[in-house]
A and B are shown apart, each in its own frame.
Chain A
Amino acid sequence: MPLDILVIQLLNGLVFSLLLFLMAAGLSLILGLMDVVNLAHGGFYLFGGYIGLTMIRWFGSFWLALLIAPLVAGALGLLLQVWFLRRLQSRHLDQVLFTFGLALIAADMLRWYWGAYVESVPPPPELDGSVLIMGRQFPVYRLSLIFFGAIVGVALMVLLDYTRIGAIVRAGVSDSELVSGLGINIDWVFVGVFVLGTALAALAGVAAGPITNLYPGLDFEILILALVVVVIGGLGTLRGALLGSILVGMTETLGKAFIPEFSLFVIFALMALVLLVRPRGLLGQKEA
């Protein structure tokens, strides 16, 4: 394998990793704090993507879409949390099942409104094109995704590690009784995290649109990938989600490149391996 191809493949892996991180970050947050495996996460992702597409068609601006889609999805997340999920508080299994039902409905509604055919999302014109990397063309949009993912990641880490809200959320992850004991309304912390999580899913949906395109079924594809990432990285840790994303992204990409026939198995094999060695995931604190 020539060096230039290897470099390009590693870049591909990095792009995919950060894409995975965008998808998994919200899932991981919700899971860590609320103990809810949000199975509708893929639904929010696809919903965000479609909303973004519609915004692009209406207003012709990718950037506006990137702003509006998370807001819309976040608002929907807010309603769901306040109206329904809160009623199921401390019934974790029921919450998971609720989101599963939601995922089924979302999948059907999205197919109904946006159709069964694949829709492609144009990247913003500023980033539409390619650069030469070691003599090979590489799409600018993919490169910029690396930066975008990194920015979102850093922003989230700053939010969690250096702000009061972050401290409350982190404390909530390890012990939600403690947080309630401090006189903080844990309900609203939950709402905030759920909204943030769904908004992140939608953000990922728009950002990934030009690469994955949008089509029915993508929601569950993404959900499973994101779940794999979270389980590998460890529940409820953003660093775990990042590590998991990079591991999964790289393994998947290199697997496809070198053993395409078996790429169906590599991620699952990786997950099985990690879980056997560390049942809590690589950086997981709590029992999954």
Chain B
Amino acid sequence: MTSLLANFRRWQFWLTLIGLIALVIYPNVASSYLISLLTEVFVFAIFAMSLDLLLGYSGLSSFGHAAFFGLGGYILGFVARNWTANMFITLPIVLIGSALGALIIGFFALRTSGLSFLMFTLAASQMFFGIAIKWTAVTGGSDGLSGIPRPTIGVGDTVYRFGTGFQFYFVALIFFLIAFWLMRQLVHSPFGRALIGIKSNEARMKALGYNTWRYKMMAFTLAGVFAGLSGYLFAYFNRHVSPETFYWTTSGQVMIMVIIGGAGSLTGPALGAVLVRLLPSYVSSYTERWHAIMGLVFILFVLFAPQGIIGLLKKVGRVSNSPNEP
């Protein structure tokens, strides 16, 4: 058992290392379009993992996660267009902004649970959408904010500019790795276990003395911050942010990523992001019916692989690793 575990650990280590090397080599050999595809996947992987903190770990089915994705993008758009695109300045502003947004929405939303929570979060994000469309002076109205400058970093006069898609790929990659690592630490920490406890049985957590409301509030805020980060990167990437980032379809899409990938595993939703962002790019070039195909893929997962991609992988892994298991 222990040697098997150690084997697995070692195996996992090498796999991760090879994966990382591949991700570094990739942009050197791939076309700029393929680079942009993967960049986008990193951004959405962060987004999907952030929702997983709620959906998979805390048992909070938010259908308004786009609120923070859009918020991150719009705050960046506003700051970068009117002041500076220096990430040393824009990043803290966006993170604080999304945290505040999440605190405010969470404060109200967490009074409800279940379907009411789902609808409340939906309502909140739809209101953000409405504001984005109406508050033209700040948000650019239905056209959104375009012409967002490329990101830079630096202090004073020494400023480095990430001027190409190639360079931005690495920005996204690094953010993805950091976010993945942070969230991974989070879900394995005592706090993360507490969230799992809340998902499993909130009443019992209260009986143990946990002020579950505060934990949920913190989870909601952290998820909002990571979602804000992904929206922030997405706006830098597209150099544009549109009201659709707030729309419920965005929330729906990220929910699909989490479910198809496998909620409660972080890696799963990241893989979900790969599938959901890449599949349409290919399918839609061959058929106009790609919405239906996405729906079908989704249904097949629900019916035959309820644990998502990650569940499938585990199953395959179990079968090939230990054929003697009863």
* A interface residues (Cβ-Cβ under 8 A, vs B): 31, 37, 84, 87-88, 91, 93-94, 97-98, 100-109, 112, 224, 227-228, 231, 235, 261, 264-265, 268-269, 271-272, 275-276, 279-281, 287-288
Describe A's contact surface by its main secondary structure.
helix
Q: Cβ of A268: which chain B residues have Cβ within 8 Å of it?
A: 123-124, 126-127
The CA of A261 and the CA of B126, in the complex, are separated in Å by 15
Is B115 a contact partner of A109 (Cβ separation < 8 A)? no
What are the interface flags for B225-256 relative to A under an 8 Å C-beta threshold, 1 for contact and 0 otherwise?
A: 00000000000000000000000100010001
Q: Are A94 and B306 in contact (CB under 8 A)?
A: yes
Q: Are B116 and A103 in contact (CB under 8 A)?
A: no
With A87-B303, A272-B124, A275-B111: A100-B116 Cβ-Cβ less than 8 Å: no
SS class, residues of chain B in contact with chain A:
helix
Q: Which residues of B contact A281 (CB under 8 A)?
A: 116
Bound-state Cα–Cα, A269 to B123, Å: 8
Instruction: Give the A-B pair count, Cβ closer than 8 A.
Output: 97
Contact A265 B130 (CB under 8 A): yes
**Taking each of B123, B130, B133, which has the highest tally of chain A beta carbons within 10 Å of its own beta carbon?**
B123
Give the residue of B116, B289, B294, B295 whose beta carbon is less than 8 angstroms from that of A279. B116
Q: Give how many B residues have a beta carbon under 8 Å from the other chain's beta carbons.
A: 35
Task: Closest B residue to A227 by CB, please name it.
Answer: B119
Q: B298 touching A287 by the CB < 8 A rule?
A: no
Q: Is B45 an interface residue (CB 8 A)?
A: no
Q: Determine the residue in chain B with the shortest Cβ distance to A104.
A: B295
Contact A288:B115 (CB < 8 A) given known A87-B303, A104-B294, A224-B122:
yes
Q: Name the 10 nearest CB pairs between A and B, nearest first.
A: A104-B295, A101-B299, A108-B292, A105-B295, A101-B298, A288-B116, A268-B123, A108-B291, A264-B130, A279-B112
Q: List 20 A-B contacts (CB under 8 A).
A: A87-B303, A88-B303, A94-B306, A97-B259, A98-B299, A104-B291, A104-B295, A105-B295, A108-B289, A108-B292, A108-B295, A109-B292, A112-B289, A231-B119, A268-B123, A268-B124, A269-B127, A272-B108, A272-B123, A288-B113
In the assembled complex, B120 has its CB within 8 A of some CB on chain A: yes
- Closest A-chain residue to B259, C-beta based? A97
Question: In the complex, what residues of A have CB within 8 A of residue B303's CB?
Answer: 84, 87-88, 98
In chain B, what residue has the closest Cβ to A231?
Answer: B119
